[in-house]
């Protein structure tokens, strides 16, 4: 039994993805979803829908599409592979198939590792991961030197699903920098600047709406006053009984 169901809305051959997230549904579904959301938002220009496009099976696929052909198309149209490292992913048939395709058709240099759980160590003498490391079989021997990875092993499930967690924010900054080919400090600065711009625009919109409300309220009160005066002028005064 495969570790997760892969069904999906087909991926158009003309689509392009900046990253493909490879993971085992348990325990990484929440982390994969949060990473996709955060990566697409991080340092996003105000006039764009997203900062980058990320392929994640549940989000990028819908029911009744050929499973592997859709996955393969997503891999082919992606520039980076983000692997969520866990013991479950290491033993997953699907994850290993995705990693094997990537290593054979692209380059291990564009594989980004996110260490979520389990052991992940490098053996300098063998220039490979240690035997105890939780990596898919197809990733062994793929790197000529120790790769850098993002370490999220200190976070629990709730923290992994929290995009505002400082450790998660740092991880997203590292991954965004690698995928977009922008210096880490530069992309963090862009994210801060875009956040400030968004806040200014939001405040401006609130002020604009408040001003319209005040003007509208003033006009309504003026109209009510005028109507009252008109009624007062036209109504007959009191009469005396004879």
The separation between the first and the last C-alpha atoms of the chain, rounded to the nearest angstrom, is 103
The packing angle between helices 184-234 and 166-180, to 10°, is: 110
* E strands in the chain: 17-22, 54-55, 78-85, 111-115, 122-123, 128-129, 149-151
What separation in angstroms does the CA of 219 have from each of 9, 207, 211, 212, 228? 52, 18, 12, 10, 14
What separation in angstroms does the CA of 195 have from each of 41, 129, 182? 10, 39, 18
Selecting among 77, 88, 98, 190, the annotated active-site residue is 98
- Give yes or no for a contact between 11 and 55, defined as CB atoms under 8 angstroms apart: yes
DSSP 110-134: GEEEEE-SS---EETTTTEE-TTS-
Pairwise CA distance, residues 239 & 36, whole Å: 79
77 is catalytic: no
What separation in angstroms does the CA of 186 have from each of 142, 161, 236? 30, 25, 77
Active site residues: 98
């Amino acid at each position: 039994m495969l570790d997760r169901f892969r069904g999906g809305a087909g991926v158009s051959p003309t689509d392009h993805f900046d990253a493909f997230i490879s993971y085992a549904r348990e325990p990484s579904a929440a982390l994969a979803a949060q990473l996709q959301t955060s990566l697409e938002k991080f340092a996003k220009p105000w006039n764009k829908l997203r900062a980058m496009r990320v392929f994640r099976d549940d989000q990028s696929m819908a029911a009744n599409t050929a499973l592997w052909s859709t996955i393969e198309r997503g891999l082919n149209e992606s520039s980076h592979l983000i692997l969520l490292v866990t013991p479950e992913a290491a033993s997953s048939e699907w994850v290993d198939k995705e990693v094997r395709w990537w290593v054979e058709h692209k380059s291990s240099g564009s594989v980004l590792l996110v260490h979520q759980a389990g052991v992940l160590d490098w053996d300098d003498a063998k220039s490979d991961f240690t035997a105890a490391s939780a990596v898919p079989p197809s990733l062994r021997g793929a790197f000529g030197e120790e790769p850098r990875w993002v370490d999220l092993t200190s976070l629990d499930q709730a923290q992994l699903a929290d995009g505002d967690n400082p450790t998660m924010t740092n991880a997203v900054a590292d991954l965004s920098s690698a995928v977009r080919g922008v210096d880490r400090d530069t992309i963090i600065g862009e994210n801060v600047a875009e956040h400030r711009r968004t806040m200014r625009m939001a405040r401006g919109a609130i002020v604009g709406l408040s001003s319209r409300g005040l003007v509208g309220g003033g006009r309504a009160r003026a109209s009510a006053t005028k109507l009252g005066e008109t009624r007062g002028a036209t109504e007959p005064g009191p009469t005396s009984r004879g």
